[in-house]
Chain A
């Protein structure tokens, strides 16, 4: 059976969600089809726009945009569009109760991770901002018993290796685990969910109180709730008269889930239906026009018709790109992706270096439509967004969420205009 709508978005990561929302803003009907929930929920929840360029740290990503190669999605979109997308997400999050902030001097934040390293990012929840360390030079580093991923002594030791923190006074603050002893490892997400309850919040306030009297800053894993993190953070900072700084954590990242919840709520309010557990397996096209996308799931194959399509199915991990030795291709339209024939050239010996694995993707034009070697458009009514697009190296650049956001918003807006 075939069903019809105006605009179909495939994929529900950051690119898919933002594409659906910006497409819906045009007033058209939007249907979101997804297989899995993407990687947003387990991510840091911070928007990395451009952390490194040619291996060097970037101070001001917006200022550095003109230096990127012309095939980079940011170059295709233009610097103005990059800034517009960031501001749009910021206002969207604020409406959803999450205050995402740029660094005061409009440069990259230096966020602190639970490994005690510094991570460049452009937009982060207010609770992650580290600018307070410029004034206050003393902090308690908080963790919880049984939380195996967060060790204050390791964090302190690591931070002392950075010039910015070398002379700072840190203290380890290990709180008892608030969660019943169980055979499961306790993660920041478990504690955050407890803090979402009134008794959890009160427990955290009481536990932090003695440290708040000694130190102006409390550095913590992201445990300040999932649903109302902004409010929890504000309340605790106020009543304890302290500045709390959350650290970027490994999956489950908590802040990624907070951001996803905000976008999911916005999607629901916008009246966008989401079809889950449906794997887009192929498209039906008439010459250069896509007529429908076919999904496969437990309930069988289904055909979904629309006049515009946005493909945000991710890279290799998300399933948007598939590979075999010497070959790579996009999985719905079978668009070939240029790849080195020798698979050994795909990877890099440098762990943080550039590699084909984090670059491979569909070649698109400024309209985000796939193009062939001659630059001719393959499908007139299909746009691509996020990791499915090539032309950049999200891992070495630290530009994953930024590119997803910018291309997602742009694809949605352009599709809504047609």
Chain B
């Protein structure tokens, strides 16, 4: 048995129960300790499944809080995948899991039409019928998705160094500007960026919604492409903490045969930018009037906290002269990917996020910042405050300073 999912490491201290954002707001969820390590022993007897397994949001606060290093959330996700093998997940879950496929279909139509197709009251009613909350703000497809925007963009020619960008499906379909801002920064630091067509969704929404086979296919494709670049000694960078966590922590547990060789070829894009700054490739010693006295409140996504790598986004914002940055430190936003879009989870999701919303509203900031795409959707939904990825904020600053 993998040490990360070893149930015997659990001493039943109940720390995870106290820290679980879902258990905090609803008693419908059995809680991480009981559903994870405690139930796992019964699963070995193949003795049925607890009905509240779908209430785990896979936000990973149980793992973050556990003093013994038990991978509670992964125990839950493995159990969910095993359950889904015998009981087909719903059409609603298929829709939410396969967002990337839908974005490709949507790409055929003009974005306005595709978005109208999703956001008009009639569609919302239909979505609500299949179990997607009509109160939720589903993210909008961008008018030009990342692949098209990247193709249309001309990178400077004299760049000798090279990096590869793994954008993840959110940036690809809904926030291509974040991806392009990152490309701009990397170019400015002297790197040419590759955006391979072969990269597809990291598999997080697929696996957590019960489509393990589809997640496996994606993993095979992505890892093969990453291996190719790794062999050439070229770094692959990601901006989405959930994608990064999938490759670094979850794939080796979900598909140990695929990722046995140390899993990850993926690196944190923000850490790379910080490295560029400290190596002097990217210079921020301008007088700093572009963001003078602007106030930004930063939210650390749970999956970033779970990585245990620190807060490169917060460090990056802190490096911008004149900018006033504070950290919300208010826990989970509640969305957990597609969790908060589900009809029966919407209220739970909003109740979880209420602490963060309050903290952001109280901050009187001009702008919120976070790395995770769906955290961003949730923050804007819960606070009506604009929210940006830290790389975009750094790009705006440098661009303005240039003018």
Q: Which of chain B's residues have a CB closer than 8 A to the CB of A314? A: 67
User: Bound complex: CA of A184 vs CA of B32, how far in Å?
Assistant: 11
Which of A180, A276, A295 gathers the greatest number of chain B CB atoms within 10 Å?
Answer: A276
Q: Say yes or no: B308 contacts A36, CB within 8 Å.
A: no
> Counting CB contacts under 8 A, is B248 at the interface?
yes
> Counting CB contacts under 8 A, is B24 at the interface?
yes
Q: Say yes or no: B248 contacts A298, CB within 8 Å.
A: yes
User: Bound complex: CA of A1 vs CA of B277, how far in Å?
Assistant: 13
User: Bound complex: CA of A275 vs CA of B310, how far in Å?
Assistant: 5
Which of B15, B268, B310 gathers the greatest number of chain A CB atoms within 10 Å?
Answer: B310
> Counting CB contacts under 8 A, is B66 at the interface?
yes
Q: Say yes or no: A300 contacts B248, CB within 8 Å.
A: yes
Q: Say yes or no: A179 contacts B27, CB within 8 Å.
A: yes
Q: Say yes or no: A41 contacts B15, CB within 8 Å.
A: yes
Q: Say yes or no: A38 contacts B305, CB within 8 Å.
A: no
> Counting CB contacts under 8 A, is A297 at the interface?
yes
User: Bound complex: CA of A3 vs CA of B15, how far in Å?
Assistant: 30
Query: Within residues 294 to 312 of chain B, which ones have a CB less than 8 A from any CB in chain A?
Result: 305-311
Contact A299:B27 (CB < 8 A) given known A36-B67, A276-B308, A317-B67 = no
Q: Say yes or no: B307 contacts A297, CB within 8 Å.
A: yes
Q: What's the interface size class on A, roughly?
A: 35 or more
In the complex, the chain B residue whose C-beta lies closest to that of A313 is B67
> Counting CB contacts under 8 A, is B13 at the interface?
yes
Query: Within residues 158 to 187 of chain B, which ones have a CB less than 8 A from any CB in chain A?
Result: none
Name A279's contact: one of B24, B69, B309 (CB within 8 Å): B69
Which of A36, A189, A299, A314 gathers the greatest number of chain B CB atoms within 10 Å?
Answer: A299
Which of B15, B67, B248, B264 gathers the greatest number of chain A CB atoms within 10 Å?
Answer: B67
Name B64's contact: one of A277, A296, A299 (CB within 8 Å): A277
Q: Say yes or no: A251 contacts B28, CB within 8 Å.
A: no
Contact A37:B15 (CB < 8 A) given known A273-B311, A297-B307, A298-B249 = yes
B56 CB, min distance to chain A CBs, angstroms = 13
Q: Say yes or no: B18 contacts A252, CB within 8 Å.
A: yes
Contact A295:B308 (CB < 8 A) given known A36-B15, A37-B19, A37-B65 = yes
Q: Which of chain A's residues have a CB closer than 8 A to the CB of B17? A: 189, 252
B208 CB, min distance to chain A CBs, angstroms = 16
Name B11's contact: one of A179, A274, A317 (CB within 8 Å): A317
Query: Within residues 187 to 246 of chain A, which ones have a CB less than 8 A from any CB in chain B?
Result: 189-190, 193
Q: Which of chain A's residues have a CB closer than 8 A to the CB of B14? A: 42, 251-252
Q: Say yes or no: B308 contacts A279, CB within 8 Å.
A: yes
Q: Say yes or no: A1 contacts B274, CB within 8 Å.
A: yes
Q: Which of chain A's residues have a CB closer than 8 A to the CB of B28? A: 180, 182
Query: Within residues 274 to 328 of chain A, which ones have a CB less than 8 A from any CB in chain B?
Result: 274-279, 295-300, 302, 314, 317-319
> Counting CB contacts under 8 A, is B327 at the interface?
yes
Q: Say yes or no: A302 contacts B30, CB within 8 Å.
A: no
> Counting CB contacts under 8 A, is B371 at the interface?
no
Name B244's contact: one of A35, A193, A299 (CB within 8 Å): A299
User: Bound complex: CA of A35 vs CA of B15, how far in Å?
Assistant: 13
> Counting CB contacts under 8 A, is B90 at the interface?
no
Name A42's contact: one of B18, B27, B64, B248 (CB within 8 Å): B18
Name B327's contact: one of A39, A268, A319 (CB within 8 Å): A268
Q: Say yes or no: B310 contacts A3, CB within 8 Å.
A: yes
Contact A36:B65 (CB < 8 A) given known A3-B310, A302-B309 = yes
Query: Within residues 112 to 140 of chain A, which ones have a CB less than 8 A from any CB in chain B?
Result: none
Tell me how many residues of B have a C-beta within 8 Å of chain A.
44
> Counting CB contacts under 8 A, is A338 at the interface?
no
Contact A184:B30 (CB < 8 A) given known A276-B308, A298-B248, A299-B308 = yes
Q: Say yes or no: B13 contacts A42, CB within 8 Å.
A: yes
Contact A182:B27 (CB < 8 A) given known A36-B69, A37-B67 = yes
User: Bound complex: CA of A276 vs CA of B248, how far in Å?
Assistant: 16
> Counting CB contacts under 8 A, is B3 at the interface?
no
User: Bound complex: CA of A257 vs CA of B248, how far in Å?
Assistant: 31
> Counting CB contacts under 8 A, is B329 at the interface?
yes
Q: Which of chain A's residues have a CB closer than 8 A to the CB of B249? A: 298
Q: Say yes or no: B305 contacts A276, CB within 8 Å.
A: yes
Q: Say yes or no: A251 contacts B67, CB within 8 Å.
A: no
Q: Say yes or no: B309 contacts A38, CB within 8 Å.
A: no
Name A184's contact: one of B34, B271, B275 (CB within 8 Å): B34
Query: Within residues 245 to 295 of chain B, which ones have a CB less than 8 A from any CB in chain A?
Result: 245, 248-249, 264, 268, 271, 274-275
A73 CB, min distance to chain B CBs, angstroms = 21
B22 CB, min distance to chain A CBs, angstroms = 12
User: Bound complex: CA of A257 vs CA of B27, how far in Å?
Assistant: 19
Q: Say yes or no: A184 contacts B18, CB within 8 Å.
A: no
Contact A298:B311 (CB < 8 A) given known A35-B69, A251-B13 = no
B361 CB, min distance to chain A CBs, angstroms = 16
Q: Say yes or no: B329 contacts A264, CB within 8 Å.
A: yes
Query: Within residues 32 to 53 of chain B, which ones have a CB less than 8 A from any CB in chain A?
Result: 34, 50-52
Which of A3, A37, A298 gathers the greatest number of chain B CB atoms within 10 Å?
Answer: A298
Q: Say yes or no: A298 contacts B65, CB within 8 Å.
A: no
Q: Say yes or no: B268 contacts A299, CB within 8 Å.
A: yes
Name A36's contact: one of B29, B68, B309 (CB within 8 Å): B68
Q: Say yes or no: B27 contacts A298, CB within 8 Å.
A: no
User: Bound complex: CA of A276 vs CA of B69, how far in Å?
Assistant: 12
In the complex, the chain B residue whose C-beta lies closest to that of A183 is B30
> Counting CB contacts under 8 A, is B314 at the interface?
yes
> Counting CB contacts under 8 A, is B31 at the interface?
yes
Q: Which of chain B's residues have a CB closer than 8 A to the CB of A251? A: 13-15, 18
A194 CB, min distance to chain B CBs, angstroms = 9
Query: Within residues 51 to 96 of chain A, which ones have a CB less than 8 A from any CB in chain B?
Result: none
User: Bound complex: CA of A278 vs CA of B309, how far in Å?
Assistant: 7
> Counting CB contacts under 8 A, is B93 at the interface?
no
Q: Which of chain B's residues have a CB closer than 8 A to the CB of A276? A: 64, 305-306, 308
Q: Say yes or no: B308 contacts A278, CB within 8 Å.
A: yes
> Counting CB contacts under 8 A, is B63 at the interface?
yes
B235 CB, min distance to chain A CBs, angstroms = 12
Query: Within residues 10 to 56 of chain A, which ones have a CB less than 8 A from any CB in chain B?
Result: 35-39, 41-42
B300-332: CB near A (< 8 Å → 1, else 0) gives 000001111111001100000000000101000
B132 CB, min distance to chain A CBs, angstroms = 25
Q: Say yes or no: B306 contacts A39, CB within 8 Å.
A: no
A390-414: CB near B (< 8 Å → 1, else 0) gives 0000000000000000000000000
Known: A1-B275, A275-B309. 19 other contacts (CB 8 A): A3-B315, A35-B69, A36-B15, A37-B67, A183-B30, A184-B27, A251-B15, A251-B18, A252-B18, A257-B18, A268-B327, A268-B329, A277-B306, A278-B309, A298-B306, A299-B268, A299-B308, A300-B248, A319-B69
- A/B interface sample: 8 pairs, CB < 8 A: A35-B69, A36-B69, A183-B50, A257-B18, A274-B329, A295-B308, A298-B249, A299-B307
Which B residues contact A (CB, under 8 angstroms)? 11, 13-15, 17-19, 24, 27-31, 34, 50-52, 63-69, 244-245, 248-249, 264, 268, 271, 274-275, 305-311, 314-315, 327, 329
Closest 10 CB pairs of A and B: A297-B308, A36-B67, A299-B309, A299-B307, A298-B249, A278-B308, A277-B308, A182-B27, A37-B65, A268-B329
Which A residues contact B (CB, under 8 angstroms)? 1, 3, 35-39, 41-42, 179-180, 182-184, 186, 189-190, 193, 251-252, 257, 264, 268, 273-279, 295-300, 302, 314, 317-319
